[in-house]
Amino acid sequence: MCWKGMAVATLAEIKVLLGEPRFNWADQAPWLELEQELGIEFPADFREIVDAYGSIEVNKQLYLKHPAGHLLHSLGREIREDLEFWREEDMTEFLPSRAGTDPGELIPVASATTGEHVFLRVPDEPSSPWRVVVQEFDSPAWHLHEMAFSEWLLAYLRGEDVTVCSGDRAPDGPFYEFLP
């Protein structure tokens, strides 16, 4: 699958680097409920990865959460809290556009122990691709990555510089652990 020349990484490519998923969620109800609440439909590649792996910590750095996660690790709760935080007047200047779920806005979907926040940029048009924006909380700078979430995650797992860098955190290769 390709959007404007950008390939979307497959789950198989992610598995090669990260290992076999052990969550393998099949019930779409939590996604549908969250999407209805937010008024968006998450990109298929993001859903597929999160359904496969669940709520995890990658390389003891990057947190991914599932909408069916328990209260402590719920993607829905995390998004609601993060949207409230990023919409505060003194935080809006640190993002390239408003945090939210409307076209062109940024929806927070992941975070890192090293201070970065990962957003998906809601496409301006339904046929346009989703993109990844990473905000560096400690600098405070942001970076737009012209790639789908799966491509961004694959680049991260390969140790490429996609704002969140894992080279020193996974010297023996990428790994993940379920969040407690």
Is 117 domain-assigned?
yes
As for how many domains the chain has, the answer is 1
What is the overall mean pLDDT for the chain? Answer: 90
Q: What is the pLDDT of residues 115-150, one digit of tens each?
A: 999 999 999 998 899 999 999 987 779 999 999 999
Cα–Cα distance for residue pair 68/35, rounded to 1 Å: 13
Is 89 domain-assigned?
yes
CB 176 within 8 A of CB 20: no
Is 91 domain-assigned?
yes
pLDDT score of 27: 95
Is 133 domain-assigned?
yes
What domain range includes position 116? 45-162
Per-residue CA distances from 82 to 2, 78, 91, 97 (Å)? 30, 6, 11, 15
Is 151 domain-assigned?
yes
Residue 144: count of CB within 10 angstroms of its CB: 15
pTM (global) more than 0.85: yes
User: Taking Cα atoms as reference points, which of 151, 143, 125 lies closest to residue 45?
Assistant: 151
CB 56 within 8 A of CB 176: yes
Which has more confidence, 71 or 114? 114
Q: Summarize the confidence of residues 10-27 as an average pLDDT.
A: 95
Is 27 domain-assigned?
no
Q: What is the pLDDT of residues 162-173, one digit of tens each?
A: 998 766 777 888
Is 180 domain-assigned?
no
pLDDT score of 108: 98
Is 85 domain-assigned?
yes
Cα–Cα distance for residue pair 72/19, rounded to 1 Å: 24
